[in-house]
Amino acid sequence: MKFENMNIQENVLGSLNNIGFKEPTKIQSETIPIIKQGYDVIGQSKTGSGKTAAFGIPLVEKVTKGTRAQALVLAPTRELAKQIASEIRKFSDLKGLSVQTVYGGVSMRPQIMGLKNSEIIVGTPGRILDHMRRGNFDTKNVKMFVLDEADRMIDMGFIDDIAKIENNLPDDRQTLLFSATMPRKLNKITSRFTENAKRIKTETKVDEGLLEQHYCDVKPYEKFSLLVHLMKEEDPELAIIFCKTRRETSAVASNLKKQGINAEAIHGGLSQHQREKALKKFHDGRIRFLVATDVASRGIDVDNISHIFNYRLPSNAEDYVNRIGRTARAGKSGKVISLLSKDDHASFRRIMEKYSYKVGKLEISDFKEIPFRKRSSKRRRSYKNYRRRR
């Protein structure tokens, strides 16, 4: 099947042709016709399968130019909200629709103007709710409500914000919920926010024929040394190193730079400008290594990521699925290597019990020991100066 055979509006189809969209992915071919018919939809498919277009294309078709705020899309992070908005703008280019992104960390004033003049709003729950409370967002015309990466929004504690937002939307609307994983805690949302929803589930795991997964047992104090060894041995095209906390992410990135490895950190503690700058460098290939937390990694949409290094495993098994979904995309192969110390084994067991991945063990016994500083020298000096002043 091709998009031209899916009875898509001519101006939307023209926009798809202009960006090179010819054949829909499985999740797109199965959900677009149902969404066009007006059903609520709960869609589940693996990361990188084209979920944004699955809801974005019919959304653009249903929105009328000139009537404010007809569609609201919620995303867990600023990066993902920007990515979704960028894609929807491409789909709606020839239709001339306006798309406004709404997220924290930047001035409200341009967002207020956009909320008054845009047909499609894409934002994060906290800032959307803030605008609602201030009376900046008139939701009476919203006829489509989309929750993207709903699992992550629940994990991040947005459930109450989402519920308050939903209470301010018209009852007569279409609700679409998309996610790579569907943990049980999502049932409350799906039953509350949707009505007679059609459930569509396609491939939920990365193609293991394209993705190699390995693990290494390592002592905690040798983990950084092994990481550097593996990065040099593997020589990735592009790679993400996943850490568990903001502090750990910054420390790993800082220590990699000291080893001559061009890496940037991205986590929720950085400013929006810093995060955007790091992502752009990575996307443009000016840096090959991105050190990230799970939250900050949402919205990284780069097809050439060849390696994922798990410096620390996530506590949540679903986060592992989203991590490895960043590689082996668009038909390319990928490789995942997890560094397991004693603190990671419980998480590793949970992941394997839930998803039964084929993960081979790498035996590496000889690598150079490299010092790892948990805090920057600048921070230590500041602490010493503080002690002297006291």
Q: Which CATH number fits domain 211-361: 3.40.1010.20, 3.90.1530.10, 3.40.50.300, 3.10.20.90?
A: 3.40.50.300
* β-pair partners for 338: 215, 310
- Confirm if 137 and 172 have CB atoms less than 8 A apart: no
What pLDDT, on the 0 to 100 scale, is given for residue 185?
Answer: 77
How does pLDDT run along the chain (390 residues), one tens digit per residue? 899 999 999 999 999 999 999 999 999 999 999 999 999 999 988 777 789 999 999 999 999 999 999 999 999 988 899 999 999 999 999 999 999 999 998 899 999 999 999 999 999 999 999 999 999 999 999 999 999 988 888 888 898 999 999 999 999 999 999 988 787 778 878 888 999 999 998 865 666 778 999 999 999 999 999 999 999 999 999 999 999 999 999 999 999 999 999 999 999 888 878 888 898 899 899 999 999 998 766 667 777 899 999 999 998 888 898 888 888 876 788 999 999 999 999 999 999 998 888 999 999 989 999 999 986 544 444 434 434 443
Nearest residue to 255 via CA among 282, 216, 225, 218: 225
- Domain locations along the chain: 3-201, 211-361
Indicate the pTM of the whole model.
0.76
Query: What's the CA gap between 326 and 158, in Å, rounded?
Result: 23
**Fold match between domain 3-201 and domain 211-361:** yes
Beta strands at 334-340 and 211-217: parallel, antiparallel or unpaired = parallel
* CATH placement of domain 3-201: 3.40.50.300
Tokens of 39: 């059903």
- Confirm if 290 and 236 have CB atoms less than 8 A apart: no
Residue with tokens 């609201």: 72
Tokens of 309: 């290094």
Tokens of 311: 């410096």
Query: What's the CA gap between 302 and 287, in Å, rounded?
Result: 13
- Confirm if 292 and 242 have CB atoms less than 8 A apart: yes
What pLDDT, on the 0 to 100 scale, is given for residue 188?
Answer: 76
Burial 40-67 (b: 16+ CB within 10 A, else e): bbbbbbbbbbbbbbbbbbbbbbebeeee
Query: What's the CA gap between 280 and 293, in Å, rounded?
Result: 17
Query: What's the CA gap between 258 and 359, in Å, rounded?
Result: 31
| Separation of CA 250 from chain center | 20
